[in-house]
Amino acid sequence: MSCYQLLKKSTQSAARRGILSTAHGDIQTPNFMPVGTQGTVKTLHPNELVDLDAQVILGNTYHLFLRPTMDVLQTFGGLHQFMQWDRPILTDSGGFQVFSLAKIRKITPEGVWFNNHLNGERMLLSPETSLDIQATIGSDIAMIFDECPPYPCERSYAEKSTQLTTDWAVRCKNWIEANQPQAGSFGIQSQKTNQNNSIKQLHFGIVQGSIYADLREKSAKDLVNLNFDGYAIGGVSVGEPEEEMMKAVDHSIPFLPEDKVRYAMGLGTPTQLLEMVSKGVDIFDCVMPTRLARHGVAFTVDGPINIKKQTFTHDMGPLCPEIQDSHTSQFSRAYIRHLFRTSEPLAARLLSYHNLNFYLTLMRNARTHIEAGTFEIYKQEFTARYNQVQ
């Protein structure tokens, strides 16, 4: 039985409303996952994420493997207990970080050999070790180890890479069948199950294929044959134009089953998220709300603003009058600008909180409007106002 329950489809688009059940609770879709790379969503307290009703966060396998190390997470019985977060966690496979951070790396059929970016130590990340690490982290959703090709990517490279991703997915499937529920040679003790004792760690396959429609189709079909708990669309948000990003989704979605969750990795802007929801994507993760926050950018319904600008020097209004909360809305734009100009840590805190509230509210509104049958109107109105030049 699938862990994803489809509650409703929009009558005007592929937009969907559903529930993904995990060992640490349900995730309503469409939804957004704040990024907690190293076991913390930057600047925020876990209680604040609960206030914001974040239903799931993302942890990065590569980073957690290096620090605090599996040895420490083993002591705590997993990341939930270590970081004091009792809701669902999704972990990536670690592959993407190896490609982007490790100084020297070599892709072989066995896996990826790399020198880690902290102390240069030579390590192997393979389909099996990635899953073993994720089992030790004790995430509710583990991602299958894949190769994420760069953009642009030659056809010949994309063909080989997509086949490698499929081969690795087969090895992952074998590992899961051999190891679950005893998973985690690093010593995981927290294969927490839900009240019915029926939900173990879930595993999502990742559709690759770069910009090539037939490769996307083949990748999706190969993975679906392996019967994962959900499917991600990978190889997006790697520098391609928005048009290519949308096409990658269009070329993948038709071959994914209705009763499994779809996850578009590492994106995007608020309007991109709504467009993706229209196309039938269920969950998202992106560093944008928290990373831009640390650079002084606040999301508003009239588009992003840079709070450091001189124009806000005397501005007594809140960041965004339409997105209120009890944590940031009492502060003026002028005060938050002052905090940024004086490099005060509270600055990034307030903007991170606000921006995540913006993204999570966007997803909550999407759910409400799908339910009410008004999602396409909502998307159009939101997008028109967001993109309007002030």
84 contributes a contact to a copy of itself by CB under 8 A: yes
313 is a site residue for a copy of itself (CB under 8 A): yes
Of 7-15, 60-68, 210-218, 262-270, the segment contacting a copy of itself by CB under 8 A is: 60-68
Cα 377 to chain centroid, rounded = 26
Rounded to a whole number of angstroms, the CA Rg of the chain reads 21
- Does residue 42 interact with a copy of itself by CB under 8 A? yes
**16-22 β-sheet, strand order:** 4-9, 16-22, 25-29
Q: Could you tell me which of 68, 78, 85, 65 has the C-alpha nearest to residue 24?
A: 85
Residue 76 in the binding site for a copy of itself (CB under 8 A): yes
Spatial distance between the Cα atoms of 134 and 118, rounded to a whole number of angstroms: 20
Q: Which of 45, 155, 295, 309 binds a copy of itself (CB under 8 A)?
A: 45
| Alpha-carbon gap, residue 216 to 193, rounded angstroms | 34
CB 349 within 8 A of CB 45: no
304 contacts a copy of itself (rule: CB under 8 A): no
Burial bucket for residue 310 (CB in 10 Å: 0-12, 13-18, 19+): exposed
- For a copy of itself, give the closer residue by CB, 38 or 269: 38
- Strand-pairing partners, residue 127, are none
Check: CB of residue 196 under 8 Å from CB of residue 223: no
Q: Going by C-beta distance under 8 Å and a sequence separation of 6 or more, which residues neighbour residue 380?
A: none
| Least distance between a copy of itself and beta carbon 75 (Å) | 5
| Cβ at position 78, least distance to a copy of itself in Å | 12
Report the C-alpha gap between 253 and 251 in whole angstroms: 6
Q: Is residue 40 within the footprint of a copy of itself (CB under 8 A)? A: yes
Does the footprint of a copy of itself cover residue 72 (CB under 8 A)? yes
Looking up tokens 């004086």 gives 342
Minimum separation from the CB atom of position 81 to a copy of itself (A) = 9
Strand ranges (DSSP E) for 118-181?
122-125, 141-143
Window 15 to 34, contacts with a copy of itself (CB under 8 A): none
* C-beta closer to a copy of itself: residue 152 or 317: 317
- Can you tell me which of 327, 365, 374, 376 binds a copy of itself, judged by CB under 8 A? 327
Minimum CB separation of residue 287 from a copy of itself in Å reads 14
Q: Which DSSP state fits 203?
A: E
Question: What does residue 125 show for φ and ψ, rounded to 5 degrees?
Answer: -110, 120
DSSP 253: G
83 near a copy of itself (CB under 8 A): yes
Q: Looking at the chain, how many residues does it have?
A: 390
Q: For a copy of itself, which stretch binds (CB under 8 A), given 148-156, 201-209, 330-338, 362-370?
A: 330-338
- 68 in contact with a copy of itself (CB under 8 A): yes
> CB under 8 Å to 255, separation ≥6 — which residues?
216, 217, 220, 221, 224
Instruction: Check residue 308 for interaction with a copy of itself (CB under 8 A).
Output: no
CB closer to a copy of itself out of 342 and 388 = 342
Residue 335 as a binder of a copy of itself (CB under 8 A): the answer is yes
Q: Which amino acid is at 388?
A: Q
Beta bridge partners of 26: 21
Nearest approach, Cβ of residue 51 and a copy of itself (Å): 11
Contacting range for a copy of itself; rule: CB under 8 A; set: 4-12, 173-181, 336-344, 371-379: 336-344
Which is catalytic among the residues 53, 86, 92, 214?
Answer: 92
Task: Point out the catalytic residue in the list 71, 285, 302, 315.
Answer: 285
Decide if residue 361 touches a copy of itself (CB under 8 A).
no
Tracing tokens 């269920």 back to the chain, one arrives at: 282
DSSP letter at 310 equals: G
Among 75, 324, 365, 383, binds a copy of itself (CB under 8 A): 75
92 is catalytic: yes
Closest separation between CB of residue 351 and a copy of itself, Å? 12
Using the structure block, give the residue that is written with the tokens 């960041």: 319
For position 314 contacting a copy of itself by CB under 8 A, the verdict is yes
* Residues found near a copy of itself in the complex (CB under 8 A): 38-40, 42-45, 47, 63, 67-68, 71-72, 75-76, 82-84, 313-314, 316, 327, 330-332, 334-335, 338-339, 341-342, 344-346, 348-349
Which active-site residues does the annotation give?
92, 285
